[in-house]
Structure 1
Amino acid sequence: MALTAFCSEEAEVLYRLQCVNRMMGVKFEACTGISQSRLELLSLLFQADEISQSDLQKKVNIDSAAVTRHLKQLETKGMVTRRRKPEDNRVTLVRLTDEGRTRIEASKKEKERFISEMLENVSDEERKLLTDVLSRIQQNIEKIQTT
């Protein structure tokens, strides 16, 4: 039975976005061996020599507790190092290791393959339209006032 029998077309959009997001995360990690969030953290660190954990958190727009968890796991795997800033012990500095750099390089091809397969049978025009629509939805969500 179609989902629209139980909810409005507008509500189905929300449902489909949630399903795609959940499925995409699971499949992405299965294909690449790393979560999208961790790969994003590694990619940002790849571009910086060293960055404070709080600045990194602001760039990825993930809550600070989640960033801490991700960085601890990446540190355990030898992909990043963390240290206290000598001048200000409250600041944690994060740096990508050689192992992390190697992982980023290896993940590029896996990520490209995943994206290619995900967008198979979607025309360039449809991709542009989808990107535009998702951008507008994102802007609308950002404008929603919370209580």
Structure 2
Amino acid sequence: MPARYQGGHLVLKINFLNGRLFNRLLHLDGRAEYSAEQGKILSALWLDSPRTIANISAITGLAKSTLTSMLKRLEDQGHITITSSPDDARVKLVGLTQRGKDQEKIGNAVSKQLAEQFYKGFTDEEKDQLDQLLLRVEANLNEGLNTVGCAPRKGEE
């Protein structure tokens, strides 16, 4: 492929800038009690709680080894609870506390600010096109993960 195709590099750079801006917006808001990385976990739980650690890993893209320390910190901060599943004690369930639930409004407000900056200058049609193209890229990468014949690295399973 010609060197002019930089999609992977650009997505990586966009992800980095998106996280930095999100952290800055959280800090400027002053009410948020979590970082952008922790926000990925809380966001998954705001959609549905409780969830298993494996499920949170799949949704957020965070490795289980990374999640363990982040979940511990969120638990210490009083945002989540971690309990054993009544069906299988080996499975841990992560749920929101009231304090964690209370952060959702803040997260939504900051996410709205971030989205406004992300799509600044785009028409509604361009926003839809970009989202559709990114969904195709996501599907292609997921297909690659499912078809490439190598075992996941430790922590990615």
TM-score, with structure 2 as normaliser: 0.75
* Mapped partners of 1:53, 1:15: distance in 2: 29
Could you say which residue in structure 2 is the equivalent of 1:17?
11
Q: Write the letter of the residue equivalent to 1:53.
A: I
Instruction: Give the RMSD, CA atoms, in angstroms.
Output: 2.3
Structure of greater Rg: 1
* Mapped partners of 2:81, 2:112: distance in 1: 27
Measure how far apart 1:86 and its partner are: 5.3
Q: 1:30 to 1:139 in 2, by over 3 A?
A: same
Gaps of 5+ in 1: 1-6
TM-score, with structure 1 as normaliser: 0.79
- The percent identity for this pair of structures is 21
Q: Greater helix share, 1 or 2?
A: 1
Measure how far apart 1:120 and its partner are: 1.1
| Corresponding pairs, count | 140
Could you say which residue in structure 1 is the equivalent of 2:88?
88
Could you say which residue in structure 1 is the equivalent of 2:22?
28
State which drifts further: 119-128 or 84-93. Answer: 84-93
Q: Write the letter of the residue equivalent to 1:30.
A: R
* Mapped partners of 2:136, 2:48: distance in 1: 30
Q: Secondary structure at the match of 1:121?
A: coil
Gaps of 5+ in 2: 28-33, 151-157
Could you say which residue in structure 2 is the equivalent of 1:117?
117
Q: Secondary structure at the match of 1:120?
A: coil
Question: Which of the pair has the greater relative contact order for Cα pairs under 8 Å at 6+ separation?
Answer: 2
- Are 1:8 and 2:14 an aligned pair? no
